[in-house]
Structures are given as structure tokens and as C-alpha cells.
Amino acid sequence: MKYSQLNQFARAIAWIAGVAVSQAGFSQEAKDPLTAWGVPDLSGVYAEFTVAPLERPVELGEQEFFTPEQFAAFEQQRLEQVDEDDETQAGTPEDVHYDMGTFALSENEGVTSPNLRTSIVVSPSNGRIPPLLPAAIERREAVAAARAGREFNGPEMRSLTERCIVWQSTLPPILPRGYNSNLQIFQSPGIVMIQGEMGDPRIIPTDGRELPENLIPQWNGTSVGRWEGDTLVIETAGFHPDTHWRGSSEHRRVTERLTRIDADTLEYAFTVEDPHTWAEPWSGVYPLTEMDALLFEYACTEGNYGMANILSGARAAEEEAAE
């Protein structure tokens, strides 16, 4: 076991025991738990990446936490998979891929939050997202049918991510992703702002206002926040109907709860509800680990060579097929 794995393991054990340990190089100075205007200070740069998968492997049933032995085996398997992905043979089509390691984007090179949970989803108790309702399956099939055979016709047929419109995992509820899985929180009186490294700045008023009644569709939805003791509670609704996040509709509503649990760690908990999509709300939780780091500008559309390459590749393939 490498040092980083050992450290990760120790932090996971400590985290579940509720004991703060500082990770080498990332320990923070003790800071005032409150801002100058008297609300909990959540500001900082945080790593979102954590080992727990979003959904629990079915074979683990109702088991909420790994045993130390299970965790070690799970982590070993995960690391081997990540390493395997990088081992492609030069000159083969498989070798044409992002080499995350080159740009320090590999999930083994960033900060990973310790976590012994077997899944981010904690409710329902099987740790899995409830099945889609029939209406949601119909919606999903209608979207797929509208694209079928036209996926490469033009830019508007590509995914929201390829189009640089949104990364679904940066929308509420924020979920860890393979790289750039970091965010920053700023606070000002009456405002909390969450900026994902690949997301849009979410300006969340905490001045007592409620969500407006007639919400204008927004890719990131419209959020309002309030303080409940030490916890920031954020309610978000009014998502853009074309978001289709995990099969959900524009009626999706998300509640996020951010709480500092030690000097380096926030707990991020969320509940998703959409009666047009799932029969019951579902919830998740994972830790955010503070880093001594800066987020750099993520100018997506300005450097979107991928879209031009995808479309020109499709045109080349069509020409080839026609010959």
C-alpha cells in the first residue's frame, strides 16, 4: 500500500470516527468558525472527489459502511482500474484518449475525501436511486427517439457537456466527477456563492427571501439559502427543461445542506425530489475536503476543439461510407 493510500485509509477511519486529522500539506490554520457578520464560515476551496460510488453495489445490500478489510480491497480495485485505463498501446485507436495523468487530472492525483460509505446515496436504505416512474421512462425514450440517427448532425444534437453548456455533475446536487472535481465557497453578508471549477457561479441569497413563484428556467436552477444552526440549507428549483438530469423533469427540486464538521471538512448532504420522475425523494451525503489551492479559469467554449473534431469526424465517416 502506497503512502497516499495509507493516508487516505487513515483519514477514512478517522472521518467515520468523527476525529479530525490533518492531511499532510493541506492542514488549515485554525480559523474563526463564524464570519464577521456572525454566520458559520464555510468559505474555502474544497475537493469533491470521494471514494464512495454514487450507488451502492447491489451485493452489499443494506450495508452502509465498508469494513476496513472491504475498504482496502475496494480501494485497491478502484486504483487498479484507474491505472489500467492509462495503459494503452501507442499507435492504436484506444491510445487516443485524455491521459489524465499528463495534466495531473487523474483522480489519484487530486485530493480525495476520506469516506467509508459504500455509496453516496443514503436514502433509500439500499443506497440506490429509486427506479424511474413510467412517465419518466417515456420522456427519456422520447428524447432518445428524437436523436436516433441524428446524433452527429449538428452541435445541438450533442450532450450539454460537449456543448459547454453545463456539466450535469456541477448542477445541484453537486456530485464528484472524474477530474476538476473541486469547488470554492465565498460568503458576503446575505449571500453565499458556490463556484464549481467547471461550473457556473451560483449566487445564493441568504437574506430571508423565498424562491420566487414564477421561476424562469435556468440551467443551474434558482437557489435560496437559509441558516439552520450551523447548517446552510439551500433550496433549488426551476431547472431548464432540457437538462434531463438522470431522467428528471423541470419539476426537480433539490435541497442541499452544508455543515462544517471539522477544520478541513464540510459535510455535503442533499435530497432530490421530482414526483414526475421518482415515486419517492432520495438523498445522499459525502464529505468535501478543504485544500490550500486556487481554482483557475475554466473557459470551456473558448477552447472547444472537441466539438469541431466530433462533427468533422462524423462528416469524414459519412464521406468514407458513401465511397
Pairing of strands 44-47, 121-123: unpaired
Stretch that binds another protein, among 113-121, 174-182, 189-197, 248-256 (CB under 8 A): 189-197
Residue 17 contacts another protein per CB under 8 A = no
Angle 147-307-249 from CA coordinates, rounded to 5°: 40
Quote the CA–CA distance of 4 and 19 in Å, as a whole number. 19
Determine the straight-line distance between the first and last CA of the chain, rounded to whole angstroms.
Answer: 55
Quote the CA–CA distance of 121 and 28 in Å, as a whole number. 29
Residue 188 contacts another protein per CB under 8 A = yes
Helix, coil or strand: residue 118: coil
Stretch that binds another protein, among 124-132, 239-247, 256-264, 277-285 (CB under 8 A): 239-247
Instruction: Please state the φ and ψ torsions of residue 126, each to the nearest 5 degrees.
Output: -85, 0
Residue 187 contacts another protein per CB under 8 A = yes
Residue 166 contacts another protein per CB under 8 A = yes
Closest approach of another protein to the CB of residue 9, in Å = 32
Residue 207 contacts another protein per CB under 8 A = yes
**Chain center to CA of 249:** 19
Residue 323 contacts another protein per CB under 8 A = no
Stretch that binds another protein, among 61-69, 99-107, 193-201, 229-237 (CB under 8 A): 193-201
Stretch that binds another protein, among 19-27, 208-216, 259-267, 271-279 (CB under 8 A): 208-216
Which of 6, 10, 19, 144 lies at the binding interface for another protein (CB under 8 A)?
Answer: 144
Burial of 54 (C-beta count, 10 Å sphere; 0-12/13-18/19+): middle
Quote the CA–CA distance of 174 and 166 in Å, as a whole number. 12
Query: Which residues are at the interface with another protein (CB under 8 A)?
Result: 35-37, 43, 140, 143-144, 146-147, 150, 152-160, 163-166, 186-191, 193, 195, 200-201, 203, 205, 207, 209, 212, 216, 218-220, 222, 241-242, 244, 295-297, 299, 301-302, 307-308, 311-312, 314-315, 318
